[in-house]
Each structure stands twice: as C-alpha cells, then as structure tokens.
C-alpha cells in the first residue's frame, strides 16, 4: 500500500490533524486536498500544540514533501503567516513545500461577501454558520469560471483584470447585502498585496498533479489529508449546511489530479461521539447540561473560530454513510477518553421516519431534522489506564464499545485514540502495510 487517504467521517474536527501527524511518519509526501483556512487541524506532540489551517499536518516530520492540491482555495496571506509560524518553531526547514498553481485564491472580497451573507441571515435558516474565511464565494467563482488561480498571482496585469471584472459583477451584490463597495485604491491595494504574496510564494508554486504522480510512479508512500468531513461534502452532505468542496475521499483524486485507481486505502476518522459547528441538522445533538459536560470534557471549541461546537452521541447511521461514500478501508476512532466517567453511553444505530426504519440518514435535510434516532445504550466506564497500548488495556465496557462501533459502521479499526498527544494512541493496523 503506498497511498492512503485520511478523511473526516463526520462534520469535521474528528482529529484528522493528530491522525495525519501519526501516519506521516510512514509517508514521504503529505498532500492536503480539500477546502482552505476553514480547516483547523490540531497536532499535540509531547505537550506542544500546533494548529494547521492550510499547511499539511505532516509538517512536524522533517524531510517530508508537503503539497497543497489544486482543489484547495488558498488565502496567500494566511498561508505566508502559517509558513512563518511553522519556521519560527523550527518546522518546514527541510520539508519541500509545493503549492498547486491551479489552486484558487481567496481574496478579501470573498471574505467580505461570506461575512455579509452570514450577518444578513443571522438567526434565520439561511445562515450556514460558516467560518467566514471566504470559502463559499471563492468556490462560487471557481465554478463560475471567474476565479483567480495561484498562477494568476504571478501576472499582475491578469490578476488586476480578473479582480476588477469580478468586482464589477459583485459590487451590486455587496451593496445589496449592506456592505460598502471597495474604493479603487482599496482594490488596487488588494491586487498589489496579493501579487506581493505571490512573489514570496513563487519558489513553492508548481505543478502539484505531476509532482504527486511522479511520487506515485516511484511507489513512494503518500498520505492525502482531507479537511472537514463526509457530512459537510458539497454533493453528499447535509446540503445546504455544508462546505463548498468535495470532502469525501474522492476529493483527494479531484484535488490532487490523480486517478481513483491510485488510491490504496482510506482511513475515516470518527470521534467516539459527534460534534458539529455551524448550522444544520444534527439528530443526536444533546442540548442542556450533558451536552455542555461533553463540550467541556472534549474541549469542543473550534480550532479556527473558537466557536463552541454542538455535541451529541455518535451517529452510526451517519457514520455508515461516510464509510460508504468514502469507501473507507479502516476507521480511526478518537476521543474515547472523553466519554470516561460519563455514565452510560448511547449510540444512534438508525432512525425512524414516518413509521419506517432507516439505516442511513434520509436524503433531504428537513427529513434528517425530523428523523427520530434509535439509540442503543452501552454501559459506561471510568478513567482509562494511563499507558494504553492495546485494546486489551481498555476496560471491557470501553473495548466492547469500540468493537461494536466498527462492526456496525462496517469498517475495521485502524487505531483508537485516547488523548490528544501523539503517544496516546492504540495502533491496530498500519494503513501503508499490505
Ligand atoms: P481536525 O480538524 O479533524 O484535525 O480536528 P481538530 O483539531 O479541529 O479537533 C480535534 C481536537 O481533539 C483537537 O483539540 C485535538 O488535539 C483533540 N484530540 C484528538 N484526538 C484526541 C483524543 O483521542 N482525545 C482527546 N481528549 N482529544 C483529542
Ligand atoms: P476541519 O478540517 C468543522 C463548517 C462550518 C459551517 C460549514 C460551512 O477542521 O475539520 P465554510 O466556512 O466552509 O463555508 O463553512 O462548514 N466547517 C467546519 N466544521 N471543521 C471544519 O474543518 C470545518 N470547515 C468548515 O462551521 O458549518
Ligand atoms: Mg478542525
């Protein structure tokens, strides 16, 4: 096995950063494929914490090739800041960084529009609860064939023309949404700032697809790092409460520009419970005291926006859908420790809707919101032992819990994570082996 995709199996924040960091040890190349700086991936190594937004989470391992795929939407200023932060910490010194020339650029007007839309619809069903990082407007421009690509940053005349043409169409929308149309001087500053950022990034810009393909041909181990999660997928998630990219494993092929036959394994990451940040249906959400207890125990506050995450029981019907959509060959189950000392644990094993039993969430978002979860109760467990190396070290009730999840979800366990640190992990299978 030389190519492994790591994908979020829920609504994001499952612990992809930790798992990618762990698996990166075995990889020569780590390719971030989806989204942009809406992502926040947390790595904890020996108590030191790093949150990556754009840079692949393999960054902690010196000497790895780190690639940003063409399917990403990149804020060049955020990327430069993140690179500088990493370098201050002694990271990215020996890593080769390659940013796809075809990736799209997030410009200030994308963020402006994202924020204006959210403000206008605040408190209504139309508010998506986005991260306000300009993701939707940048992908809209891409699909509308009006987008600005990283390669355009290297040609200021073309960049200026693209930005002006876009704003020509967008200015009435900015006014309609209650915003202030940018002045000509402001627009020129956006253009020159972006071009300057492009100049700084130029040595790292290149043909990501061919770069990844060359590594595939050379049979180098490659890890593809997803962002967000299957239920936030633009096509298959809880639309319209989704992000604007292809978050499922297929997104790795689309973004990196490789064929599906080159993917050998797909590891889906799921928490031992569920969280969601932003709006949208969440059938197993726990309101009130218990939800708050879980939020505090799990530190469930956004790594990008700091927003409190909505918390609920694990939804196996949704997880089953993620396993199917991404063709998962293994599961990494994280945050098992958070359920310690919580009493009995519940898991949604399916739904009831209009008298019918469902084993996956219904297609329509309104139906998902109406669907009644069917819960199975598991006896809880107390504190997990400090040094947990194998499933046998877990209390029997916790072991039964994780094994039942894997069985009902339909994919074998590749690892169980019992704390945020790299070493708080029970490794069960090497996704690069076999
Ligand atoms: P990502 O977006 O999928 O990379 O996940 P985030 O970094 O946004 O959120 C996951 C959070 O859970 C981070 O704060 C991680 O440090 C933390 N985390 C990951 N695995 C575990 C675990 O097994 N136990 C605990 N307690 N925390 C974990
Ligand atoms: P990682 O990679 C959790 C959610 C937002 C919102 C919706 C659309 O850290 O798991 P967007 O800004 O993308 O237009 O917002 O998607 N969202 C995430 N939720 N984790 C993420 O990333 C997310 N990225 C976007 O909260 O509901
Ligand atoms: Mg996150």
> Closest Cα to atom 1, ligand 1: which residue?
13
Identify whether the C-beta of residue 313 lies closer than 8 Å to the C-beta of residue 285.
Answer: no
**Global pTM value:** 0.97
Identify whether the C-beta of residue 153 lies closer than 8 Å to the C-beta of residue 163.
Answer: no
Which residue in 234, 203, 231, 108 sits closest to 163, CA to CA? 108
* Backbone dihedral angles phi then psi of residue 374, each to the nearest 5 degrees: -100, 120
Q: Which atom in ligand 1 lies closest to the alpha carbon of residue 43?
A: 16
- Give the torsion sign (CA, 147, 69, 257, 231): negative
Which residues surround the ion ligand 3 when the cut-off is CB under 5 Å?
A: 13, 40, 303
- Whole-number pLDDT of residue 136: 98
> Closest Cα to atom 15, ligand 2: which residue?
130
> Given 21, 28, 41, 211, which residue is catalytic?
41
Q: How far apart are the first and last CA of the chain?
A: 6
Measure 70 CA to ligand 2 centroid, in angstroms: 19
Query: Does residue 303 have its Cβ closer than 6 Å to ligand 1?
Result: yes
Residue 41 annotated among the catalytic residues of the structure? yes
Measure 39 CA to ligand 2 centroid, in angstroms: 6
Which residue in 354, 419, 417, 364 sits closest to 428, CA to CA? 417
**Over the stretch 370-404, which tens digit does the pLDDT of each residue have?**
999 999 999 999 999 988 999 999 999 999 999 99
Low-confidence ranges of the chain (pLDDT < 50): none
Q: What is the DSSP string of 320-370?
A: HHHHHHHT-SEEEEE-GGGGTTS-SEEEEEEEEETTEEESS--SSHHHHHH
Identify whether the C-beta of residue 120 lies closer than 8 Å to the C-beta of residue 233.
Answer: no
Which residue in 55, 71, 58, 49 sits closest to 29, CA to CA? 58
> Given 13, 152, 233, 315, which residue is catalytic?
13
Q: Is the peptide bond before 240 cis (omega within 30 degrees of 0)?
A: yes
Measure 351 CA to ligand 2 centroid, in angstroms: 25
Residue with tokens 């694990």: 314
248 vs 67: CA distance, rounded Å: 18
Pairing outcome for strands 41-45 and 73-74: unpaired
**Over the stretch 70-105, which tens digit does the pLDDT of each residue have?**
999 999 999 999 999 999 999 998 878 999 999 999
- Whole-number pLDDT of residue 1: 64
- Whole-number pLDDT of residue 386: 85
Residue 359 annotated among the catalytic residues of the structure? no
Which residues face 45 on adjacent strands?
Answer: 48
- Whole-number pLDDT of residue 18: 97
């Amino acid at each position: 096995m030389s190519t492994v995709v790591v994908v979020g199996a829920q609504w994001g924040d499952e612990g992809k950063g930790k798992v990618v960091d762990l698996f990166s040890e075995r990889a020569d190349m780590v390719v971030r494929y989806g989204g942009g700086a809406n992502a926040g991936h947390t790595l904890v190594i020996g108590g030191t914490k790093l949150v990556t937004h754009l840079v692949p989470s393999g960054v902690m391992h010196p000497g790895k090739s780190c690639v940003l795929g063409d399917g990403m939407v990149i804020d060049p200023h955020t990327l430069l800041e993140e690179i500088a932060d990493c370098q201050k910490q002694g990271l990215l010194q020996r890593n080769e960084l390659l940013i796809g020339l075809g990736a799209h650029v997030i410009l200030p007007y994308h963020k402006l529009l994202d924020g204006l839309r959210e403000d206008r619809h605040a408190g209504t069903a139309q508010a998506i609860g986005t991260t306000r990082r300009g993701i939707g407007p940048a992908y809209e421009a891409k699909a509308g064939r009006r987008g600005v690509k990283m390669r355009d940053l290297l040609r200021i005349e073309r960049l200026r023309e693209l930005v002006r043409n876009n704003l020509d169409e967008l200015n009435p929308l900015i006014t309609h949404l209650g915003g202030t149309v940018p002045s000509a001087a402001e627009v020129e500053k956006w253009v020159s700032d972006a071009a300057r950022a492009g100049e700084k990034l130029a040595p790292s810009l290149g043909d990501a697809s061919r770069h990844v393909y060359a590594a595939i041909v050379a049979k180098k181990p490659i890890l593809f790092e997803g962002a967000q999660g299957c239920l936030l997928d633009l096509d298959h998630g809880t639309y319209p409460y989704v992000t604007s990219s292809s978050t499922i494993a297929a997104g790795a092929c689309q973004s990196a520009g490789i064929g599906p036959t080159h993917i050998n394994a797909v590891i889906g990451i799921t928490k031992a419970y569920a969280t969601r940040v932003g709006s949208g249906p969440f059938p197993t959400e726990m309101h009130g005291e218990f939800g708050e207890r879980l939020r505090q125990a799990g530190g469930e506050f956004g790594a990008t926006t700091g927003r409190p995450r909505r918390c609920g029981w694990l939804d196996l019907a949704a997880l089953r859908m993620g396993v199917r959509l991404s063709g998962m060959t293994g599961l990494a189950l994280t945050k098992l420790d958070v359920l310690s000392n919580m009493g009995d644990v519940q898991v949604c094993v399916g739904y009831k809707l209009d008298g019918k039993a469902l084993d996956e969430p219904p297609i329509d978002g309104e139906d998902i919101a109406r669907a009644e979860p069917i819960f199975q109760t598991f006896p809880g467990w107390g504190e997990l032992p400090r040094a947990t190396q194998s499933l046998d070290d877990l209390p029997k009730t916790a072991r039964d819990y994780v094994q039942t999840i894997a069985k009902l979800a339909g994919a074998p366990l590749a690892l169980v994570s019992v704390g945020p640190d790299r070493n708080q992990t029970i490794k069960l299978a090497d996704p690069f082996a076999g």
